[in-house]
Amino acid sequence: MVDQFDKSQVVVSEVEVRVVRAEERRRWDELMARHHYLGFRQFAGRGLRHVAVWRGHWLALLGWQAGAFKCAPRDRWLGWHRSVQFRRLHLIGNNTRFLMLPEAGAIRNLASRILGQSLRRLSDDWQGAYGHPLELAETNALLEDVAVEGCLITLDALHTTVDTEPVIVDSHRADYLFTVKGKPPETDALLKSLDWTAPTVRSDHTAPEKGHGRLEMRHLEALTLPPQWVRFKHARQAIRITRQRTHLNTGKTTTETVYALTSVPAERANPKQLLAWNRGHWAVEMNHYRRDVSLGEDARRSRARHAPANNATLNNLVLAIVFYRGFRRLPEAQRHFMMHRKEALDAILCPN
């Protein structure tokens, strides 16, 4: 069943996640089996189906089921005794499927909103289905096999939670820089209410930077927080970043303000350093943008067998060639090679 609609009209803030109704389960199962690269038959044990909807149109599907019987990194992190483990295993949920439907296309920030909404309502939905809440959704085990002690971990708003903070600081003895972009809303409101005109506020700014058809300036302000600040007990500095962008084609100027938290105290990180860390985070995000948007990975409909992995490998080859040839931006390289087809073939067949 193809759900036809104009994806350019989708407003991300209007997208809602809900539980799939009984009469919709067959449709959910068929779409997941057809489009997810792992396919789908049925949940092993207890499961919960979520669907993301915009004005009645299905955009994405999520599947949650009971936690794995054994998972060494998770079990070490929880530190529970085996006898307790099996009594409380039912309180853990595991995200086993997350599918952006092909009809939704590549819509910026959509996947983050959907996953965030699903996580926020997951425990209540599980309570309604099975009579008990969930205490943990398996997401933090990714850090278990990574040596991050003494490092700084930068995360976007999706991961800015009081559950993530102790995993980074207490369990892994690392520091964090959390982006607070309206989420969680309570923390965002608290940061906005701070006295940003106080004489103790420190600041720095970047010179105008040109790229993507615009000029951009960033102004950062930092304020030391008291120990055990409200919900984030390890937070040492509150940060306010103001981005001013001027679009070169239209001359229109827009201003955006976002907030952040870091566990690094002021004596170890001045505003200039904080700005550099913030820019470094988005340098990593830019790599995702190149793959997802410029190379169209998010819009690919090939999900059978090894097709997604093969596509990712070919995109790795494209990026390697582009930057080895000295291009700074992918669109610039794409235009160049479209005009010089023989040079494109030479780059592939004779890389040296």
For the stretch 165-176, pLDDT in tens is 887 888 788 899
Lowest mean pLDDT among 10-19, 49-58, 94-103, 342-351: 342-351
Q: Is the pLDDT of residue 75 over 60?
A: yes
Domain 7-137 carries which CATH code? 3.40.630
pLDDT for position 280: 76
Q: Given its phi and psi angles, is residue 108 left (phi above 0), alpha (psi -120 to 50 degrees) or beta?
A: beta
Q: Could you please report the per-residue DSSP string of 134-162?
A: -SEES-GGGGTTS--TT-EEEE-GGG-ST
Enter the tokens of residue 119. 């996580």
3 state SS of 71: coil
pLDDT for position 17: 94
Q: Is the pLDDT of residue 3 over 70?
A: no
Question: What pLDDT digit, counting tens, does each position of 190-206 carry?
Answer: 899 999 999 989 998 88
> What are residue 244's phi and psi, to 5 degrees?
-115, 120
The fraction of the chain above a pLDDT of 90, given in percent, is 23
Which position has the higher pLDDT, 200 or 107? Answer: 200
Confidence label for 229 from pLDDT (cuts 50, 70 and 90): confident
Q: Where are the domains of the chain?
A: 7-137, 146-281, 307-349
